[in-house]
Amino acid sequence: MRLWICALVLSAGAAAAQDVSIAKGMGSVTVETAQGAVEISRIQDQDNQISGDWALTSRACPSFCVQPILPAPGVTPIGELELLDFLNDPEVVVIDGRVPRDFAGGAIPGAVNVPYTEAADRLGELGCEPDFEGFICEGEGVKRAALYCNGPWCGQSPTAARRMIEAGFPAEKLYYYRPGMQGWRMLGLTVTGE
């Protein structure tokens, strides 16, 4: 029994000495952004806690209603590891669907701010061709898009996804990171401007 307790104490001490990684064998990911290379990692302070608006758990609905995991049929939900892969994929645009004020307050490195109110009008940035009634989004030149906003209670990126689909963007080329900035910050991942 004593041997087991000693082993437990030693392994707990060894675990505390390890770096806080993103995933097993993945300490960080470097992403090319318009401002240059950014290394995304987790905050190493194991006592770190989120604070401010990001720590709020109960906000009035509406406007802060829990969003569905699928904002529209055909859209694929993703997690942090898929989003990190997308940040280094030239065929995917990671879109922050929040209003510019929120984007300026901190975002996922490498994301492009396309406010949800503009998403349906900016499909040309994803390789779509303008049409009289929206856009034609066909062919190999059309990129995939991964959307996020403030968190599971934020309706901005789900609204952007629905508007993009209505304007002609294929739902199967859309990905939704529902945890948004709240989930990103909760995991202690790198945020622009901090």
Q: CATH no. for residue 129?
A: 3.40.250.10
Question: For residues 137 and 32, what is the distance between their CA atoms, to the nearest angstrom?
Answer: 26
Question: For residues 1 and 79, what is the distance between their CA atoms, to the nearest angstrom?
Answer: 41
In a domain, 194, yes or no: no
In a domain, 10, yes or no: yes
Please state the domain count of the chain: 1
In a domain, 74, yes or no: yes
Q: How confident is the model at residue 150 (pLDDT cuts 50, 70, 90)?
A: very high
In a domain, 191, yes or no: no
Per-residue H/E/C for 76-139 = EECCHHHHHHHHCCCCEEEEECCCHHHHHCCCCCCCEECCCCCHHHCHHHHCCEEECCEEECCC
Catalytic residue among 65, 128, 137, 149: 149
In a domain, 98, yes or no: yes
Of the candidates 93, 68, 83, 76, the residue with the CA atom closest to the CA atom of residue 171: 76
Predicted confidence at residue 134, as pLDDT, reads 84
Predicted confidence at residue 85, as pLDDT, reads 98
71 neighbors 165 (Cβ within 8 angstroms): no
pLDDT at residue 8 tops 60: no
**Among the ranges given (13-22, 68-77, 108-117, 162-171), the one the predictor scored with the smallest mean pLDDT:** 13-22
141 three-class SS: coil
Kindly state the average pLDDT of the residues 146-157. Answer: 96
Predicted confidence at residue 54, as pLDDT, reads 81
Kindly state the average pLDDT of the residues 26-32. Answer: 95
Predicted confidence at residue 194, as pLDDT, reads 72
Max mean pLDDT among 12-26, 55-69, 173-187 falls in 173-187
- Domain coverage including residue 129: 2-186
Q: How confident is the model at residue 18 (pLDDT cuts 50, 70, 90)?
A: low
Determine the Cα angle at 144 with ends 24 and 75, to 5°.
85
In a domain, 124, yes or no: yes
In a domain, 192, yes or no: no
pLDDT at residue 110 tops 80: yes
151 neighbors 180 (Cβ within 8 angstroms): yes
DSSP character for 75? Answer: P
Kindly state the average pLDDT of the residues 61-85. Answer: 96
In a domain, 26, yes or no: yes
Kindly state the average pLDDT of the residues 94-120. Answer: 97
Residue 149 appears among annotated catalytic residues: yes
Question: For residues 124 and 146, what is the distance between their CA atoms, to the nearest angstrom?
Answer: 16
